[in-house]
Amino acid sequence: MIAKHDVLVVGAGCAGMRAAIEAHDAGADVAMISKLHPTRSHSGAAEGGINAALGNAAEDSPEIHAFDTVKGSDYLGDQDSIEIFCAEAPGDIIQLEHWGAVFSRRADGKLAQRPFGAAGSPRTVYAADITGHVLIQVLWEQVCKREITVYEEFFAWQLVVNDGRCQGVICWDLLRGGLKTLGGKTIVMATGGAGRQYRATTNAYACTGDGMAMALHAGLPLKDMEFMQFHPTTLYPSGVLITEGCRGEGGYLINKDGERFMKRYAPNALELASRDVVSRSEQTEIDEGRGVNGSVFLDLRHLGAERILERLPGSRELAMTFAGVDPIYDPIPVRPGAHYHMGGIATDSDGATELDGLYAAGECACVSIHGANRLGGNSLMETITFGRRAGRAAAEWALSHTTVEVPESAERDAERELRELLSREEGERPWKLREELGQSMLENFGVFRREEGMARQIEIIQGLRERYRNVYVEDKGHVFNSDLTQAIELGNMLDTALCMVTAGLARKESRGAHSRPYDYPNRDDENFLHHSITRWRDGEVELSTAPVRMTKWEPQERKY
């Protein structure tokens, strides 16, 4: 064990940095572990905005925000956590602004707010269309100001569980090589999502579900893993995200005939229906032959050059760079792509898991405020609000406990496992298995899902897991061995993908992002208004259920 801290935060995106800042301010000795430099975390790729009921653009309140979130979740969100989230969001926005977040403003000086999908009021605060970039820079300034220790380019691999508590993290040191163990009285997981399980995704190459897999392998439950959100507007053919802010500013979706097709699917909300509805509508247009090269078009031309240059400069630059299209003059080719995982490590409203000393926040966690479908703008807000809450809770627990003990046997077992992997002289290369996983997940567990496709996908994943036993790491070196870390990431993705598809096959209904139009087209509250819980037992998935926590909103039909 090379060092001990009161609170170890694994991951240094918005959730991780906000947790570390709060834990430090509560008086704890804090350190962050990150496999990337913190400002390269995927949070920086978030574009459109962050939700809070400030009421600057129209009448709004935390209660209206909460109802929109519950309805958007297709009634699978835990309503007590949603109410906490919506009540505390405005104060968190004001704090970010005081720290120096350069949000876009109205002419009267108030923070500007734009409409986002399925929102009852324009409540999305934004910084042009680079909101995540702005937030991650502001949080990094606060981390540097507090001189919080950062173990940069440390690849977190295994949690240390000792005496019924989580007491450390075993990492691979990318910069210097070798396994390094860090002890912590409490650990906060903030490692982001797992979108790289899919070939077409908005997610960075680092989004491989490491934190979820580490918790799963440590015996913890993952919650609602079947719900992977597909964002309606990812750039064809690269999959780069084109923000929902484009539709919030008034952009249209059109098919190859120039028809604004959302009139057929959501006659009231149109392009600002919830993401699951818009993604399904687009996929239907494509499947029925009204797309072009597997895509439809996002049309911004009617907004005019001035508005595009002021409000959506990043989206224009992305379209020009990656698709050769200037949206001032031509529509942008877009299609649904894997974007955000609603499921994750099961936590309470303070980020606490069922294992003493372990907390989680951000996309790797499932509180659950998103339920079966996340509203755009809620995820950035979740990283801040629940990152703060998890950091505070982890610090308070750590400051009331005094010991950290990492048994030598845990380090020896990890060393042996690593030697076994590196000593293999032949076998399959990780990239090949990763490619097969990404393509098959897209085909069998995408926007629309079929019984036979999901059953086939479980067989494919099991076959890939069997082949993974003989995966071959060609680079035997210690310094910057990305070949090794990518092999470990592949194992994490295979195990979490198995959880996802197993839970999806068991959910015989259509709810939010889990759409089964061919066999179970309707939502079934009588039999499936519950969370899916997956655990790891002897190398396989064990599935159970947990009740949804209701406060004041009974399920009703969603209409857009």
d(CA 243, CA 202): 11
Q: Tell me, what DSSP letter sits at residue 352?
A: B
- Helices 62-72 and 79-99 pack at an angle, to 10 degrees, of 120
Residue 419: burial class (beta carbons within 10 Å; 0-12, 13-18, 19+): exposed
Output phi, psi for 133, to 5 deg: -60, -45
Provide the 3-class DSSP secondary structure of residue 1: coil
275 catalytic residue (yes or no): yes
Residue of 165, 199, 247, 275 marked active site: 275
Kindly report the CA angle at 451 between 271 and 272, in degrees rounded to 5?
Answer: 5
Contact between 125 and 113 (Cβ < 8 Å): yes
Amino acid (1-letter code) at residue 465: R
Element (H, E) at 86: helix 79-99
Output phi, psi for 413, to 5 deg: -60, -40
Output phi, psi for 132, to 5 deg: -60, -40
Query: Across the chain, which distance is largest between two alpha carbons, in Å?
Result: 67
Place of tokens 């590196």: 422
Of 267, 380, 270, 277, nearest to 336 (Cα)?
Answer: 277
Which tokens in the block code for residue 417?
């496992």
d(CA 317, CA 302): 18
Amino acid (1-letter code) at residue 29: D
Q: What is the DSSP string of 486-547?
A: HHHHHHHHHHHHHHHHHHHHH--S-BTTBBBTTTB-S--HHHH-EEEEEEEETTEEEEEEEE
Strand partners, 170: 158, 181
d(CA 497, CA 246): 31
**Residues assigned a catalytic role:** 275
